[in-house]
C-alpha cells in the first residue's frame, strides 16, 4: 500500500506517469472518464479551512466513480480526544482511502501507520505536496510544449524564485520537490524565516542534494528566474504573528518592478488564496504572466491522477 504524504513518496518515473495520466484526464474530462475509484468511498478530513483542496478532491473522487465522504474534524470524536490510531482503524473499516488536511505532519504519518488504506496529504504545517505536484504539472504543460512524455524532463535545470515566508509549508515543498526534480529553488525572505532543520533533515533522509539557496535580497533571488512564486505571509495557524509578519515581509512583495528582473517569459504563480497588496500586487496577479487560475484548475486533474495511482 502506498501513501502520498510528501513529494518524495513518488519516484521521478512515477511522477512522470502521474503527469501523463493527469494530462489525459484533463483532455478527456467528461468523456473518457477513468473509473479508478469505482465502488470505493474516500474520506476527506479537514482540520483547517479550504476552498480549492476541498472542492477539487470532492469532485475528483466523484469523477473517478467513487463516493467522497466529507469530514470536518470539529464534527468528529477526534476533536474530543479520540486517538488518531483508533480513528484510522475505525475509518479503515468503512473507507478505501483518506485525504487529510491537518496541523502537525505527524498526524498524517500516525494515521497512515495505524490505518489500512492509502493516505494523501492535503496540506500539513510541514508540506503541501498536492499543490507542488500541480504547480510543476502546470509549468510542464507549457515548458514541454504540450508533450506529456516530456513533462518531468522539461522542469530540470529551471530556476524558481520563492519569496516571502520561506519557512512555510509551500516553501518546504519547493525545497524538497525541487531537489528531487533537479530544479534550482532561490528563496528570499527575512532573517528568521530560513529553511528549518526539519526540511534539511528530510532532504537527508531522502538522500537528496540541496538545490536551494536562501537570501534576504528579493532581487537576487528573482534575477533570471523562469518562474516567481509566493504564498500568503500568514499561513493558517500563524494568525497570532500577523502584525509582525506583515511588517517584516514587506520587502518581499512581488510587484511589477521585481517581475522585470525575472526572465522576460517568466510565469508568476501563487497557490492561493492571495492577499492582493500584501505578498503580491493586484497588478501582478492580473498580469499576462500570471497563471494562477490554470494552477487552481489543475489541482483537480493532478489529484485525480494521484488517487488513481494509489489505487492502481
| Shorter beta-carbon distance to ligand CP: residue 16 or 176 | 176
Binding segment for ligand CP (CB under 6 A), chosen from 33-41, 87-95, 136-144, 266-274, is 266-274
User: Interacting stretch for ligand CP, rule CB under 6 A, among 44-52, 206-214, 260-268, 274-282?
Assistant: 44-52
Catalytic, 231? Answer yes
What HEC string does 198-209 produce? HHHHHHHHCCCC
Kindly state whether residue 96 participates in binding ligand CP, applying the rule CB under 6 A: no
Residue of minimal CB distance from ligand CP? Answer: 53
In the complex, least distance from residue 264 CB atom to ligand NVA, rounded to whole angstroms: 29
Considering only the C-alpha atoms of the chain, give the largest distance between any 2 of them, rounded to a whole number of Å: 55
Catalytic choice (131, 253, 295, 303): 131
- CA angle 239–245–251, rounded 5-degree value: 150
Which residue's CB is nearer to ligand CP, number 53 or number 154? 53
Contact at 8 Å (CB) between 215 and 186? yes
CA distance from start to end of the chain: 10
* Stretch 110-139 residues interacting with ligand CP (CB under 6 A): 123, 131
Q: Which of 196, 252, 257, 210 is nearest to 229 (CA)?
A: 252
Which is closer to ligand NVA, CB of 143 or CB of 174? Answer: 174
Residues that bind ligand NVA (CB under 6 A): 123, 168-170, 231-232, 235-236, 271
Tell me: does residue 300 bind ligand CP (CB under 6 A). Answer: no
Min CB(260)–ligand CP separation in Å: 27
Shortest reach from residue 133's CB to ligand NVA, in Å: 14
Per CB under 6 A, 169 contacts ligand CP: no
**At closest approach, how far in Å is the CB of 123 from ligand NVA?**
6
Is residue 80 part of the annotated active site? The answer reads no
* Residue 271 within binding range of ligand CP, rule CB under 6 A: yes
Residue nearest to ligand NVA (CB): 235
Nearer to ligand NVA, 211 or 235 (CB): 235
The verdict on 50 binding ligand CP (CB under 6 A) reads yes
Q: Respond yes or no: is residue 271 known to be catalytic.
A: yes
Q: Specify whether 2 is catalytic.
A: no
Distance CA 106, CA 123 (A): 12
Q: Which residues pair with 43 in a beta bridge?
A: 69, 98
* Residue 51 binding result from ligand NVA, ligand CP, none, given CB thresholds of 5 to 8 Å by partner type: ligand CP
Task: Give me the residues that bind ligand CP (CB under 6 A), please.
Answer: 50-53, 123, 131, 271-273
Catalytic residue set = 101, 128, 131, 231, 271, 299
Amino acid at each position: 500500500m502506498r501513501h502520498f504524504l510528501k513529494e518524495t513518496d513518488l519516484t521521478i518515473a512515477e511522477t512522470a506517469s502521474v503527469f501523463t495520466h493527469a494530462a489525459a484526464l484533463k483532455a478527456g474530462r467528461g468523456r473518457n472518464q477513468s473509473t479508478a475509484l469505482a465502488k470505493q468511498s474516500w474520506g476527506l478530513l479537514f482540520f483547517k479551512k479550504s476552498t480549492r483542496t476541498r472542492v477539487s478532491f470532492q469532485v475528483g473522487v466523484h469523477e473517478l466513480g467513487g463516493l467522497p465522504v466529507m469530514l470536518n474534524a470539529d464534527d468528529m470524536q477526534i476533536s474530543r480526544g479520540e486517538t488518531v490510531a483508533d480513528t484510522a482503524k475505525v475509518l479503515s473499516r468503512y473507507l478505501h482511502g483518506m485525504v487529510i488536511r491537518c496541523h502537525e505532519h505527524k498526524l498524517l504519518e500516525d494515521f497512515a501507520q495505524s490505518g489500512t488504506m492509502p493516505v494523501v496529504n492535503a496540506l500539513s504545517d510541514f508540506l503541501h505536496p498536492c499543490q507542488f505536484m500541480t504547480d510543476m504539472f502546470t509549468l510542464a504543460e507549457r515548458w514541454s510544449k504540450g508533450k506529456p512524455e516530456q513533462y518531468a524532463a522539461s522542469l530540470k535545470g529551471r530556476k524558481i524564485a520563492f519569496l516571502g515566508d520561506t519557512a512555510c509549508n509551500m516553501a518546504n515543498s519547493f525545497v524538497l520537490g525541487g531537489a528531487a526534480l533537479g530544479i534550482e529553488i532561490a528563496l528570499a525572505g527575512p532573517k528568521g524565516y530560513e529553511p528549518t532543520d526539519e526540511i534539511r533533515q528530510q532532504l537527508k533522509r531522502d538522500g537528496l542534494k540541496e538545490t536551494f539557496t536562501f537570501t534576504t535580497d528579493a532581487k537576487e533571488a528573482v534575477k533570471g528566474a523562469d518562474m516567481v512564486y509566493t504564498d500568503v505571509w500568514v499561513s493558517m495557524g500563524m494568525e497570532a504573528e500577523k502584525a509582525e509578519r506583515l511588517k517584516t515581509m514587506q520587502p518581499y512583495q512581488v510587484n511589477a518592478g521585481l517581475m522585470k528582473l525575472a526572465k522576460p517569459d517568466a510565469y508568476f504563480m501563487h497557490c492561493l488564496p492571495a492577499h492582493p497588496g500584501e505578498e503580491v500586487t493586484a497588478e501582478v496577479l492580473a498580469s499576462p504572466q500570471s497563471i494562477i487560475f490554470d494552477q487552481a484548475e489543475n489541482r483537480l486533474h493532478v489529484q485525480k491522477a494521484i488517487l488513481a495511482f494509489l489505487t492502481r
